[in-house]
Structure 1
Amino acid sequence: MRKTLIAVLFASTLPAIAMAMPDAGQRHHGGKHAPFEQLDLTKEQKSEMRNLMGEQMKSRREITQRYLDKLPESERKAMQDELKSSKENTHKQMRELLKPEQQKKFDELHEKMEAKRAERAEFEQWKAERDQKS
């Protein structure tokens, strides 16, 4: 239960954070039950798989964004509101499953993730502004 909860928390963070984690002893997706773990990959193969998966996520994000940019502002706003509401609802449901001491740790982890998201958004905004000036 605890591993599943942690996996769900980290899955909701930016893919770049997950990809930046070191390999040594880390089990990102459920240990030996993860499909790639059962393949007994070499370090090089794991690295290449991680790179390919990262590129796929980036590509999907870019394709999705291209189509979202075509939506009217009101529909984009409605979609963002619905996604936010869904995320908050899931967060609330997950928190309710926990014991009080787990809830405290869950809240701490959530605050850290939100701070990282805000920092990343600020960086992306700075980068976009810098690129426009160039």
Structure 2
Amino acid sequence: MRKTFIAVLFASTLPAIAMAMPDGSHGHHGKHAPFEQLDLTKEQKREMRELMGEQMKNHREITQRYLNKLPEAERKAMQDELKNSKENTHKQIRDLLKPEQQKQFDEMHEKMVAKRAERAEFEQWKAERDQKN
């Protein structure tokens, strides 16, 4: 069980680590997107986004399936540790920036938080709607 927990924890942090790479070459929003050099057509880009989105969804579902098998105390401890790690990284990144960059970073972060909250609200609405049907 402990090996499974460690494997799930490691697997769930890989996307965040890849996106936090300093050169931005592993992020999916940066100038150096992994497939940018392939000169993809619009159709290929659309299909690539769909495939990557599906892969991310599958990754979350698989991770959640294994997390659900953990005792509640371990799940809570993991969530707390992940939250603290994320907050620490956020602070470290912010500390690297100049004051004007910090302001922009804070604005971007607020927008991202709002977008996530909106998405969570939509997902909750969708789940409630699906239960009624």
TM-score (norm 2): 0.73
Match of 1:117 in 2: 116
How many pairs does the alignment contain? 110
Alignment of structure 1 residues 27-106 onto 2, 5 Å: 28-31=29-32, 34-106=33-105
- Distance in 2 (CA, whole Å) between partners of 1:42 and 1:35 is 15
Unaligned runs of 5+ in 1: 12-17, 19-27
2:67 maps to amino acid:
L
**Bigger relative contact order, structure 1 or 2 (CA pairs below 8 A, ≥6 apart):** 1
Could you list the runs of 4 or more consecutive aligned residues of structure 1 that deviate by over 6 angstroms after TM superposition?
none
Aligned AA (2:51): L
In structure 1, distance between residues paired with 2:44 and 2:126: 32
Unaligned runs of 5+ in 2: 1-20
Give a deviation string over 1:70-125, Cα, whole Å, max 9, x none.
11111111111011101100000000011111111111111111111111112222
Please state whether the residue corresponding to 2:89 is helix, strand or coil. Answer: helix
Name the CA distance, whole Å, in 1 between partners of 2:70 and 2:77. Answer: 11
SS at match of 2:121: helix
Aligned CA RMSD, in angstroms, stands at: 2.0
Secondary structure at 2:34 match in 1: coil
For residues 100 and 30 of structure 2, the distance between their equivalents in structure 1, rounded to whole angstroms, comes to 24
Identity, % of aligned positions: 81
- Matches of 2:59 and 2:105 in 1, distance apart? 29
How far 1:66 sits from its partner (Å)? 1.0
